[in-house]
A and B are shown apart, each in its own frame.
Chain A
Amino acid sequence: MTRRSLAFDVVIGAAVFVVLALVPLVFPSKALIDFVIRFSAYALFATSLNFLVGYGGMVSFGHGMFFGLGAYAFALLMQRTGMPIPAAFAITLVICAALGVVIGAICVRLKEIYFAFLTLAFQMLLYSLIILWVPLTGGDQGLRGGIPRPPFLGINLANQTHLYLVSCTLMIIGMILMHHLLQTPFGYTLRMIRDNAARANFLGIAVFRVRLLAFVMAGIFAGAGGVIMSLFVSGAYPEFAYWTISGEGIFIIMLGGLSTFLGPAVGTVILLVLNDFVTRHTEYYGLTLGIIILVFALGLRRGLLDVLVDLWDRRTALSAAGAKAGNVSKASL
């Protein structure tokens, strides 16, 4: 894929928004609206995780901590202060960034599996804190009683359609921003570090700083996903900060593909559809999901979008120039 300008992304984003806005008018299914809202939350989370994993080569097992923190910070701010939603949203993102700086500074030095485990350890520490600090967080029962949603700018988030539109907007803006970041010199430096950190270091790049920045950025977008989820359930529950959320994130990007920007989004759709479909028809969700995972991991061996992109590349390569015998170029990012 060639570099795209920000303007191009914005145009695409606007078009997607228009389509999504029209969808509930064409298919007025409330389940679909709920689906897209959940999709927005998880897609932001998964794409931000891939920011780290696919583009940064930093496999984090604790990314869910930002999702959970985003949900709790926002819900607490709304419950305790009733401040305007945009203000609470902004403060939540700042809090996620702050946590990202502190934890990232400690973790980002480590390599591979140790980075993964340390991020997991920190996530579980945060989870323990949420469970313990009952007066603030409600403990294991979560923040109950709903969160107040004072209308702002004529938008009332207690109305599911408004929530739908705002979630889509947040998701699209988040995706555009993340994509744009990856197209900047920072993004390419990140990829270079992923491919060969030693070489990048010799070239004089401050590897630590770039990685830390990536960690913080990913945390901010994951927090935004958490905010959408907390609005959806009108509260915040410790499950949002549990390691299973991180696991689902990893699973999503494996399903959709790590090598493309939209892979995680595709993976989110697959997981959510699977989840909704399977729980309807059987109570052996684990068995079904396990078999499907095996099909992906042993059969396809890559995420869905990766497979599709490869097929596409193969077709265009073969048809473009017959002279280039059997040389299939992988999609460069």
Chain B
Amino acid sequence: MTHARRNRFDRRTLLKGAAASTVGMLAAPMVARSENKSIKIGMSTILSGRVAQLGTSSRNAVMMEVDKINAGGGLAGRQIEMVIRDSKGQPQEAARLSRELVNSDGCEILIDAEASSGAFAVHEVARDLGMLTVHTNSETSSLSADPKLRLPNTFRICRQGVHDCIVGGAYAAKVAKTKNLTKWMTTSPDYAYGRDTTAEYMSYVKYFNPDVEVVGEAWPKLFQPDYTEVLTKILQTKPQALYSCLWGGDVTAFIDQGNIYALFGQVETFAVNMADYTALTAVKNLPKGIHSGNRYIKTFPNTPENAAWADAYRAKYNEYPTNWAWENATAVHFIAAAAKKANSTDGAKLAEVMKGLTIASPFGADGNVTLRAEDQTLVGYAIGWGMTIPSEPYVVDMTAGDWKQIFELEGEWKKKKNYA
């Protein structure tokens, strides 16, 4: 039930804007809004281009949750009206759209479902306009970890690179010890996410297992269609284990191409982004025994709540939920919980309440997730690694990450980066 409001640039809108702004200009900086029946929540995301699926699944998840909330009475009594826009993945569009959503469309809360550079662009708008902004989808740790970027009104509700790497590193180190895998190679997309994630992951593997050595690296371009030169390089280097954070269409193409070189029989492969239904269902010949972390898997956490959510999503949209889907759903859960707790929809009050808030969640490692107060980012979500099989449930033998360990190592990581 996407309700894209038609805000054509016509005389009526201009006159309305003139009238409203006259009042507003005399009032306080935050335009006081009367207690309307509905509250507009804006969402800037990517609905076209290569990564369109990011936007469509984010939107699907948000709408599913918003419908449930509206059916239950809305946000502190106000019905939610979503205003969703497509930035096409351009950061200047993301900036412009978020400004417009707040300034012209009257959105009081913003869900930023952009990826990397778009998220940072929206962050600056959040700094300028001060509305409650929730970043979903952007996994760059610095978005929340860097104190220079911290704002009282922005939260990040999605998984974070450094958390994933700590868990992944620990898991891989154990496997490496058991199977004596000392020579490793990495193949990751050449951009910030690929580089940072790979570096952190390998550093944690080596931390848990100092015998591990990286003997080669390949850095294909993001969305590069042809991995032949990468695969031949791997075959030349003959590592015992391979790490890759290729994702989406890239990881499936890589697996397809790797298969014809019979790569996966020779190298133990750790592909963090494999365990996502879109990748799992797209690959026609999924090799057995690829290690992967969960992006979103219905059976991890293996709880009825998680399964129910996945089934509901599948029934409504005739597709599997993605990593982006659960993250955006959680964002809406937090907003709803905060509104209930504060009994208000005022952005500043919600932000106050959200700091440190813990809610029950089907995606929580122990049934709960928390928005950590000190850096306003999501913690406590389920992270785990397991092995892939070519049919449902697709990933088995999941080992869950230990959040105590994550917190400890994350603290050290922050100190090293001068974020603490």
A-to-B contact residues, CB < 8 Å:
26-31, 34, 38, 131, 134, 139-142, 144-146, 158, 160, 229, 232-235, 237-240, 273, 275-277, 279-281, 283-286
Contact = CB atoms under 8 A, between A and B. Distances in A.
B310 interface: no
Contacts of A232: 92, 95-96
B48 A141 contact: no
A28 B86 contact: no
A24 to B, nearest CB: 9
Contacts of A235: 91, 120-121, 124
B218 to A, nearest CB: 16
A23 to B, nearest CB: 11
Contacts of A279: 85-88, 93, 97
Question: 7 nearest interchain CB pairs?
Answer: A30-B103, A28-B21, A283-B47, A31-B104, A234-B124, A140-B191, A237-B91
Contacts of B93: 275, 279
22 contacts: A27-B14, A27-B17, A29-B14, A29-B104, A31-B100, A34-B96, A140-B117, A140-B191, A140-B192, A144-B123, A145-B146, A145-B148, A229-B92, A235-B91, A239-B90, A239-B91, A273-B9, A275-B93, A279-B85, A281-B4, A281-B6, A283-B47
Nearest to B46: A283
A240 B99 CA distance: 19
Contact of A28 (B9, B17, B92): B17
B124 A233 contact: yes
A144 B48 contact: no
B48 A283 contact: yes
Given A29-B104, A34-B100, A280-B6, A141 B124 contact: no
Contacts of B117: 140-142, 237-239
Interface in B173-205: 191-192, 195
A32 to B, nearest CB: 8
Contacts, number: 111
Contacts of B95: 232-233
B96 A141 contact: no
Most B-side CB within 10 Å, residue of A141, A229, A239, A281: A141
B137 to A, nearest CB: 14
A158 B128 CA distance: 8
A227 B8 CA distance: 30
B358 interface: no
Contacts of B103: 30-31, 34
A227 to B, nearest CB: 14
A143 to B, nearest CB: 9
Contacts of A239: 90-92, 117
B140 interface: yes
A31 B85 CA distance: 15
B120 A142 contact: yes
Contacts of A283: 47-48, 86
A283 B47 CA distance: 6
B399 interface: no
Contacts of B116: 140-141
Contacts of B191: 131, 139-140
Interface string B264-294: 0000000000000000000000000000000
A280 B91 contact: no
Contacts of B34: none
A142 B124 contact: no
B86 A285 contact: yes
Contacts of B315: none
A303 to B, nearest CB: 23
Interface string B1-20: 00010111100011001100
Interface in B109-148: 116-117, 120-121, 123-124, 127-128, 140, 142, 146, 148
Nearest to A28: B21
Contact of A141 (B14, B22, B140): B140
B51 interface: no
B26 interface: no
A3 to B, nearest CB: 37
Nearest to B20: A28
A296 B108 CA distance: 39
B149 interface: yes
B100 to A, nearest CB: 5
Contacts of B120: 141-142, 144-145, 235
Nearest to A143: B120
Interface in B36-93: 47-48, 85-88, 90-93
A209 B171 CA distance: 64
B260 interface: no
B32 interface: no
A281 B99 CA distance: 17
Nearest to A236: B91
Nearest to B194: A140
A230 B331 CA distance: 30
Most A-side CB within 10 Å, residue of B87, B95, B97, B195: B95
